[in-house]
Amino acid sequence: MSMNITQKIISSHLVEGEMVAGEEIAIKIDQTLTQDATGTMAYLQFEALDIPRVKVPLAVSYVDHNMLQAGFENADDHRFLQTFAYKYGIQYSKPGNGICHQVNLERFSKPGNTMIGSDSHTPTGGGAGMLAIGVGGLDVAVVMGGSPFYVKMPEVVGVKLTGKLKPWVSAKDVILEILRRLTVKGGVGKVFEYYGPGIDTLSVPERATITNMGAELGATSSLFPSDDITRHFFEMQGRPDDWKSLTADVDAEYDGHIEINLTELEPMLAKPGSPDAVVKVSEVEGTPVEQVIIGSCTNSSYKDLMTVAEALKGKKVNPDLSFHITPGSRQVLETIIRNGALADMVSAGARIMETTCDGCIGLGSSPPSNSVSIRSFNRNWAGRSGTMDDSVYLASPEICVAAALTGKITDPRKLGDYPEVVWPDTFVADDSMVISPSNEPGSVEVILGPNIKTLPKAEPLSFDLEGKVLIKLGDGISTDGIMPAGPKILPLRSNIPAISEFVFSQIDPDFPARAKENQGGFIVGGENYGQGSSREHAALAPMYLGVKAVITKSFARIHKANLVNFGILPLEFADSAGYDAVEQGDTIKFSGVRELIKEGANSIPVQVGLDTFECTLDISDRQRDIILAGGLLNYTKLKHS
């Protein structure tokens, strides 16, 4: 049987189920990834399983989000993460070593491996031929405990690339073109697999830019073949033995098909509000800009920064804006220090930031009020930057540097000759900031700071559910909207009672108080509810506040799984009439819901006053058992007791 790459990787890791699109499968996982904003909770959850050592071949804990140490909270979390990793068998990437996805691509990626990570941009690893999937932290904890990872078998969409990018057109423009065509909902339940002659023109970092932003499509993952270009990348990393060839069979079939002629693409950007609001740069050219940032896990590679440095050489940044550059890893930073590119950036007037996520999650570099910021990032929902009236455009480093020089959105093709990036024979390969686990774990004390609170426990599902609709929302609510980030909120990730006070704080600041007053209740949402970040706190904090069910028109994949993991019913309206009939403050009731779920019912009746409407429960039999048990942690402990 001929297979595409996705099928090859899944078949070689398949533990349960059949490779039929839409059916639940279980696969063995080779690597896990966490970052500090999600890792502390994930490791508290792992500890609750009472397992002495992680059971995956490789687990890596990164610190790249909560780097601002304006109080003791973040530093305490980092100390907890390091001592926990030392005790339980996890590699620990220290603060300053770089952004998890960039470092993982450089130092730990392996073609043909499976990886899950408690960060939605984990598919970055697909640039090196991995099947890498973003999940919630509890999923990571359970897999580290020895369980396989459960997911619906995705449809595999073949994306054929032909031609070659023209000067000043970049990999960012490729994924923006796909977002323009498919929207942020277009990838749900799918893996995007790239092939065709055009891939031969893209380096591994360029491929990783494309797979990284596949997350904005809602995709399960995205990946490229492992070929001679991949082999060369591994040789430059000093890891030739980690490389292997991995390509689709010649007659491989796909569930869907897209074709993009790279030669026909133009520089593009996403307008403020959504990553799929994509237009050609020419349509907004001339817009004044007050801030430019180049960085994030999407565009902070050596290739990106060298292109920027060459464009800046001998020039000065426009005096009316602030220009920030964030290298993706210590490897990238040290390489551009040694070859002089950093000096060109500094001389031009750039602010060089630490190797962190920084402004991408609103943990620094927030723009001025009522201003335009253009960024080489992956998300631009209102307020994500840390400034509520922001106007954030997403664009390539090429467009960003053109704006930095001119003070306005500018077609980068007007800058002249496109810089030629000279690749080093080898990159700086210094892993001294990755700390290996202890050989004597019994002697290691895990240190918990005062901000790290006990893990909240969910109760098994009740026979009946009744309560008020606490909030009614529209379409496209992101996990940023449910559980915001930022320097005031993110340090509370290990303190659920404290962070729960910020649920929906940017949409409805009274929500937490209303949830407490009513002893919990229900959330109603529109299309693609929970899009974006994998942050499980967007489910965990509402669970703590007593939310028992979320009823929407449709869900984003990761958030729906997180709701199940914390024992919250993820229901979908059978039709729009149900959504229209419900208002905030209504009392709704699910009679005999526990028995219905136990019996395998797919339709759940909901009573609103004297009216009744139907909701759909689209989850697997295993997920039904998880809901009945009160969440994945309870389910896992019962299963292994």
Active site residues: 64-65, 119, 379, 533, 535
CB count within 10 Å of CB 25 equals 21
> Using CA atoms, how far apart are residues 477 and 483, in angstroms rounded to an integer?
11
- Please give the single-letter amino acid code of residue 110: K
Q: How far is it, in rounded angstroms, from Cα 601 to Cα 289? A: 54
Is residue 389 within 8 A of residue 266, CB to CB? The reply is no
Q: Which of 242, 207, 212 is nearest to 394 (CA)?
A: 212
* Separation CA 394–CA 207 (nearest Å): 18
Extract the tokens encoding 321.
């804006």
Q: Is the dihedral of CA 522, 475, 136, 514 positive or negative?
A: negative
H/E element, 231: helix 228-236
CB 483 within 8 A of CB 525: no
DSSP state of 549: E
Residue length of the chain:
641
Put residue 544 in one of left, alpha, beta given phi > 0 → left and psi -120 to 50 → alpha.
Answer: alpha
**Cβ atoms of residues 539 and 139 within 8 Å:** no
| Residue given tokens 């209303």 in the structure block | 514
Under 8 Å between Cβ of 142 and 29: no
Q: How far apart are CA 594 and CA 582, in angstroms?
A: 22
Identify the H or E element spanning 494: none
Q: Is the dihedral of CA 127, 130, 135, 140 positive or negative?
A: negative
β-bridge pairing 521-524 and 547-552: parallel
